[in-house]
Structure formats: C-alpha cells, structure tokens
Amino acid sequence: MSTTNSEIGYVSPKTQVRWIPVIGLEVHCQLKTWTKLFCGCRNEFGATPNSRTCPVCTAQPGALPVLNREALELALRTALALGASVAPTSKFDRKNYFYCDLPKGYQISQFDQPYCTGGGITLESGKRVRLTRIHLEEDAGKAIHDRGDTTLVDLNRAGVPLIESVSEADMQTSQEAFEYLTALKEILQYVGASDCDMEKGSLRCDVNISVRPEGEPWRTKVELKNLNSFRNVQASIEFEIRRQVEAYESGDPAQFPVQETRLFDAEKGVTRSMRRKEDAHDYRYFPEPDLPPITVSAERLDRLRSALPELPTARRARYQKDFGLSAYDAGVLTADRALSEFFETVARLSKLPKEASNWISNELLRNLNDPLLPIRSIDELPFRPHDMSLLLGMLDKGEISGQAGRKVLRAMFETGKSPKDLVASLGLEQVNDSAALDDWCREALVGKDKIIADVRAGKTKAVGALVGPVMKASKGSANPQVVQEILLRLIAEMPS
C-alpha cells in the first residue's frame, strides 16, 4: 500500500495504476444480557449443547416472542455512545432463509426501520468513519461441520440478542479497518453492551470490499464473511485487494470479481468463494406480526445518555492532561474499561499516577499475559487496587527495590496476600545499613580497575555497571540509589 496527498491506494506492481480500495464493515455483537432476546432462556456461552432452549427459541407451534427490555437498553446505550440518532419508532421484520441452525426458517431482524441510524467513529488521523445504521436482531444457532458427513446443530445460541452495526464504505486500508474495529470494541465494552470476546463468537465481523482505478466509479463489491479476529480482518482485506486488482488487470471479464460471499482461510492467507451474494429481496422481508413496534421516548434517551460512562477517547485525553501520561500509556490504560478503573483507583490512593501507569502497563499486564498464571483479566485479580497502591508506596519510600517489587507483585498474583505481608515473609525489606552495603560494594570493586579509572576521569555513570552485582549479592534487597552513592564514595577514597 502507498499513499498520495489526496487518497490512499494500492499501486499495481504490474501496471503502476493506482487502485483505490473501498471498504465497509458489518459488525455483529452479542449483547451481554442475562436471557435471550425473545425468551427467558439463559444467554450463556459454553453450556451443554441444546440445554439452553425452550419452545420460543426452537420455534415450537404457538410459541410467541417477547422483547427483552435489557437488550433494548444496551442497544440504545451503544447508539448514544456512537452519536447515532435513535428512531422514536422502529419495528422488527422477518428475514427468511433456510439453514439447519435457524429453527424458524426465518430470523427476527430489522429491515427498513432500524432502531437507529447515523453516528460514527473518528480515527486518529481525524478521518470520520460514518455509520449507516445499527439494528437489533436475534442470533442463529451453531452448525458444526467437522464430523465427516455429519452436521451437528447446537441451538443454545439461537435467539441470543445481537446488534449489527453497518458502516459506510469510508475506509481505504486494512489499518483503518483495524483501528475502526478497535475503537468500536472499546466503546461496546465501556457501555457494558458486550464482552466482545471473539473467541466465544460474541463479536463477529464481515467486510465489504471493492477496488477501483483512481478517478473512476465504484465497482462490484465482495463480502468477506465471519472473520474471527482483527488480524484476520487485516490479512483478508490485503489479500482481497491484490486478488481483485489482478483479476481486473487480467483483462478477462470471466475473471472479474462478482457479487459474492467469500471466506478467509487464515492458514493459507487466501479467500475462497462461499456463495453468490443475495440481495435484500431474496430474503422476502416482511413485518414481524408477533411483535409490536419499538417506541423510545426522549425522556428515556435522556436518562440513558446521562448514565453513559466517560468514553475511551475522552478518558485518554484526560489522562494526558491530568496525570501527565504519554499518548501511548494513556492508550494502553484505556483500552479496557476494567483496567482503566483499576489504574484510576490505584493512582488516587497512592497519589503516584506515573508510577501507577508504569507498573500497571508493564508489570501487571505482563503477569496477566503469563501463560503460567491462570488469571487473564483484571476482574480475576486476587488482590485489590488498595494492595497495588501499598506496593507503590513501599517502592516510593525506598522500603523495597524495584527487583523486590516485581517479586512481590508476582507473589500477589499467586497468593492474593498483602504486599506488606509478602515483603516480610520473603525477606525483601530493602537494606539501607551502610556497613552491610559497604562490604558488598567493596567486593564489587575488586578487579574493576577500568570502571574505577573511568569514574575518576569524570564518567560517573560508569559506576552503574557495578550496581547490578551488588543487587545480586544482596538478593535484590539493597537500595540501588544508596549503593551508587557508596560506590562513588569508596572510589573517591581510594589512593591514587
């Protein structure tokens, strides 16, 4: 990919023609409700197959749907957070198609009157990716095709509430798509709409993509279906751009892209045809007769708007202004709402925001990502922000060294004990006793004539090479600042 001053495009290595990608995203997000969209079955991932079903979600004769109020509230919160316009009245429709994981033979969705339109997400470049609409619908079940000639169907997912957000085709690179998805995921998590766990299928993405020579009209779009990671979204877009350009430049109309749905093979890094893409009329939409229209009052929207949390973009700006954090550190800390709130509490209790940022962004997240530890999220931590603030206070007062602090934090992950108790039980109190430190420092100076000469020549930073051996001798308990002062004093006292 390469850029010009006006547009971003792909320059063909064969013809040197600049092709402009045209990219739009459809994101399906399962809402984090207690029950399904139109029945009382638990909305629960990982349950025994077909154990979370009832006459409504399995389409038994005479069973009638009832809209889940919680799902509608979460959908409305999402719309408001994205700056969308909520319709005072919207309706449900039947989207007819036949597949083994769709018990009714149709999906209850929204067609010509979605619950909201407009809104969008602003990328770091300042570019605005507009939203066309968001609509509320039920999920289908899950078909499992990995057992030879047998297909198994699990209907636990059938009827789970979804919102589908459809963007305008405002993106032109895979990086813009990645950034858009990241920002959308953050907002969905911040407003409490979804956990956005792609491994569990609660966030799924489809890509609509076409290419056109610079200055020419749009051409046929292709849909890339069911992409299960942001990296796969990027990789599939990049492959599809090359594939479509090569097809057009072949000059053979039989090879030109057609309106179809394609799947991405992550192992091979290629897309392959799944089916010809249907148009809206193929689904034979008509209004859902068993559900009344959705009405949303201005008072209800005002109440929901006032309850929205501070969103990631505003929070990042505040962290940089109030806490003096870099844009990068603010981005790391606000990528997850639970992490952000943990940081804020630690910063407030310890009154050490920069130290809290450093230790949480680096050491705490490193332990969270350690495969040897079973803890994977802030919500699972066995200790509280208060404990983390105590650890920072001990470091700030020089009671323990940074090396000892890392050992204590690891032990906090493993045991959940207070840092003060762990420092005592592990014998990690920082040694400031000059007699003990003198002995370790004298040992570290033995045979280090070159470093001693450099320090005497005014290169005092050279003494840093001796601090490590002293820390090792003290098993991390020595105060490194005091160690450095003693080393400089001992060198100054040496005879010329």
What CATH number corresponds to the domain at position 450?
1.10.10.410
Is residue 318 situated within a structural domain?
Answer: yes
Q: Are 371 and 408 in the same domain?
A: yes
Check residues 80 and 2 and name the one with the higher pLDDT: 80
Average of pLDDT values for 93-99?
A: 93
Is residue 475 situated within a structural domain?
Answer: yes
What CA–CA distance (Å, rounded) separates 166 from 249? 30
Is residue 304 situated within a structural domain?
Answer: no
Q: Are 373 and 416 in the same domain?
A: yes
What CA–CA distance (Å, rounded) separates 310 from 312? 7
Could you report the per-residue pLDDT of 271-283, keeping only the tens digit for each?
999 877 666 568 8
Lowest-confidence pick of 172-186, 201-215, 266-280: 266-280
Decide: helix, strand or coil at residue 59: coil
What one-character-per-residue DSSP string does 227-291 give?
A: E-SHHHHHHHHHHHHHHHHHHHHT--GGGS--SEEEEEETTTTEEEEEEEPPPGGGG--EE-TTS
Please check whether residue 187 is in contact with residue 311, taking contact to mean a CB–CB distance below 8 angstroms. yes
Is residue 153 situated within a structural domain?
Answer: yes
Q: Are 403 and 285 in the same domain?
A: no
Confidence grade of residue 111 (pLDDT, cut at 50, 70, 90): very high
Q: Are 393 and 465 in the same domain?
A: no
Mean pLDDT score across all residues of the chain: 92
Average of pLDDT values for 326-341?
A: 95
Q: Are 83 and 216 in the same domain?
A: yes
Is residue 303 situated within a structural domain?
Answer: no
Q: Are 410 and 314 in the same domain?
A: yes
Could you report the per-residue pLDDT of 7-30, keeping only the tens digit for each?
578 898 989 999 999 999 999 999
User: Of the candidates 298, 328, 355, which is a domain's last residue?
Assistant: 298
121: tokens are 């997400």
Buried/exposed code over 367-401 (b: 16+ C-beta within 10 A; e: otherwise) = bbeeeeeeeeebeebebebebbbbbbbbbeeebbb
Could you report the per-residue pLDDT of 419-433, keeping only the tens digit for each?
999 998 988 887 766
Residue 475 region, left (φ>0) first, then alpha (ψ -120 to 50), else beta? left
Is residue 305 situated within a structural domain?
Answer: no
Confidence grade of residue 475 (pLDDT, cut at 50, 70, 90): confident
Is residue 204 situated within a structural domain?
Answer: yes
Q: Are 397 and 459 in the same domain?
A: no
The residue type found at 425 is S
Kindly compute the dihedral angle of the four CA atoms of residues 67, 72, 75, 76, in this order, to the nearest 10 degrees: 150
What CA–CA distance (Å, rounded) separates 62 from 248? 53
Q: What residue numbers bound the domain in which 37 lies?
A: 2-298
Average of pLDDT values for 393-418?
A: 92
The residue type found at 274 is M
Q: Are 357 and 408 in the same domain?
A: yes
User: Of the candidates 298, 326, 344, which is a domain's last residue?
Assistant: 298
Could you report the per-residue pLDDT of 432-452, keeping only the tens digit for each?
667 778 888 999 999 899 999
Cα–Cα separations (whole angstroms), residue 111 to 116, 119, 136, 275: 12, 18, 10, 22
Check residues 473 and 36 and name the one with the higher pLDDT: 36
Which of 330, 388, 400, 332 has its CA nearest to residue 365? 332
101: tokens are 């994981």
Q: Which of 79-83, 95-99, 489-493 has the highest mean pLDDT?
A: 79-83
Q: Are 189 and 121 in the same domain?
A: yes
Is the pLDDT at 496 greater than 90? The verdict is no
pLDDT of residue 329: 96
User: Of the candidates 298, 326, 346, which is a domain's last residue?
Assistant: 298
Could you report the per-residue pLDDT of 364-381, keeping only the tens digit for each?
999 999 999 999 899 999
Sequence-distant (≥ 6) Cβ neighbours of residue 123 within 8 angstroms: 129, 176, 179, 180, 183
Report the predicted TM-score, pTM, of the whole model to 2 decimal places: 0.85
Q: Are 15 and 104 in the same domain?
A: yes
What CA–CA distance (Å, rounded) separates 111 from 122? 26
Q: Are 400 and 363 in the same domain?
A: yes
Q: Could you give the number of structural domains in the chain?
A: 3
Q: Are 411 and 456 in the same domain?
A: no
Q: Return the bridge partners of 12, or none.
A: none
